[in-house]
Amino acid sequence: MTRYPRDFRGYGPTPPDAKWPGGARIAVQFVLNYEEGGENNILHGDAASEAFLSEIVGAVPWPGQRHWNMESIYDYGARAGFWRLHRLFTGAGIPVTVYGVASALARAPEQVEAMKAANWEIASHGLKWIDYKDHTAAAESADIAEAIRLHREVVGEAPRGWYTGRSSINTVALASEIGGFDYISDTYDDDLPYWTQIAGRDQLIIPYTLDCNDMRFATPQGFNSGDQFYTYLCDTFDALYAEGAAGNAKMMSVGLHCRLIGRPGRVQALKRFIEYIGRVEGVWTPRRIEIANHWHETHPPKSMFRADLLTREDFVARFGGVYEHSAWVAERAFDLELGPAHNCAAGIHSALSRVFRSASPAERLGVLRAHPDLAGKLAVAKRLTAESTSEQASAGLDALTDAERSRFEELNTAYVTKHGFPFIIAVKDHDKAGILKHFQARLANATASEFDTACKQVERIARLRLEEMI
């Protein structure tokens, strides 16, 4: 594998300011997962009972059997938990996004009616609340298409957002291809929405959360009490709000389940958190679709530099001159495991430097000798590369007095005679006086030490060149 698909870079060290409406410093978005009636159950044609996210510690699937206790726990979410949460959010004037399992929505006409009356967004949570990791792409694709059809039939309109949750490696690509959704949320990899390319199409991703999520009431090392949930939500909010106050506004998702947070011993923690953020200025509490609309309008997709998608010919043509007259460095770098993390100056520099550092001493010496003398005969004859010409000019080496030029020629001759390669320094880091000072000091170094210093300067020159190119 020479092209690595995972993206460890994202927005990098300088994420964009979200620019939330009204200058909000944070967007807090509440998601209510409606899964009751869509979980694994032989009544639904599944092979076994449900075993995920319930009050039953250590639950396992029961093949070929109904699990009465499990069913009644899920039933509680529909019968009591949903309505408790409905009263809480409507009373607070906060609209939520529902991740609605299509088959569960079809079994909940009153709940769907209440969601619509409250102007809640009903996004799709798939056809059934089951695990898709072992499904073929064709089988999962068929379920996505049926989920959209059934959702439209039950809700009255197609979903504009998608979240499978118990997803496969194919889920995001399939949902983008089939649904044409305004956003997909089957990732947990950022605090901001972002655009990605899927089969040539720009797809908005609005990452979800598994940490600010009441599911941790039903997982090992999760929340044991409402106070823990409340504290964790407040700490998350405070950290993100501070970033927003500093000009880097973010998004906070809060994941909820009717059968979990809907219990009276837990809902008070959620109520306190809603009251907590209500006492702070600059908090936006949108539905997920409003975040999507804002991002489409304020941060539309832009063409991205993708070094990892270049052909060998284009890669070498673009980066072959970064190491002076040494295109072989770029040729070998192309064969490394490149990915989205390399689509920046730091990434390409890392790849090129790895090749240079692992090259033989003779090859590295060849790179050093490919560099021109500073203010030497090639410069006078205007035979430097465009990069070297610009770099030497930036330090004023193209406008020397006769005395200065004579001094550089004297130092060049002495340096090459002693070390066997030209004096190399990243001239953009220094002025003319500083260069002369380093030149004179390094002339006295041992050749082995100076070889290492020169190689590091070659890497520094490469980095500065890449920063101008990318």
**Residue 112 to residue 108: CA distance in whole angstroms:** 6
Q: Which residues are catalytic?
A: 371
**Residue 333 to residue 132: CA distance in whole angstroms:** 37
Cβ atoms of 235 and 49 closer than 8 Å: no
**CA-to-CA separations, 172 to 159, 162, 241, in angstroms, rounded:** 15, 9, 29
Residue 188's Cβ-side half-sphere holds a number of Cα atoms within 13 Å equal to 11
The distance of Cα 244 from the centroid of its chain, to the nearest Å, equals: 18
**Residue 428 to residue 199: CA distance in whole angstroms:** 42
Cβ atoms of 251 and 192 closer than 8 Å: yes
Which helix (H) or strand (E) segment is 121 a member of?
strand 121-124
Cβ atoms of 20 and 249 closer than 8 Å: yes
User: Helix/strand/coil (H, E, C) string of 398-440?
Assistant: CCCCHHHHHHHHHHHHHHHHHHCCCCCCCHHHCCHHHHHHHHH
Which helix (H) or strand (E) segment is 375 a member of?
none
Using the 8-state DSSP alphabet, how is residue 77 labeled? I
**CA-to-CA separations, 323 to 2, 268, 395, 410, 423, in angstroms, rounded:** 22, 63, 20, 26, 15
| Residue whose structure tokens are 């700490």 | 235
Q: Is 304 exposed, middle or buried (0-12, 13-18, 19+ CB in 10 A)?
A: exposed
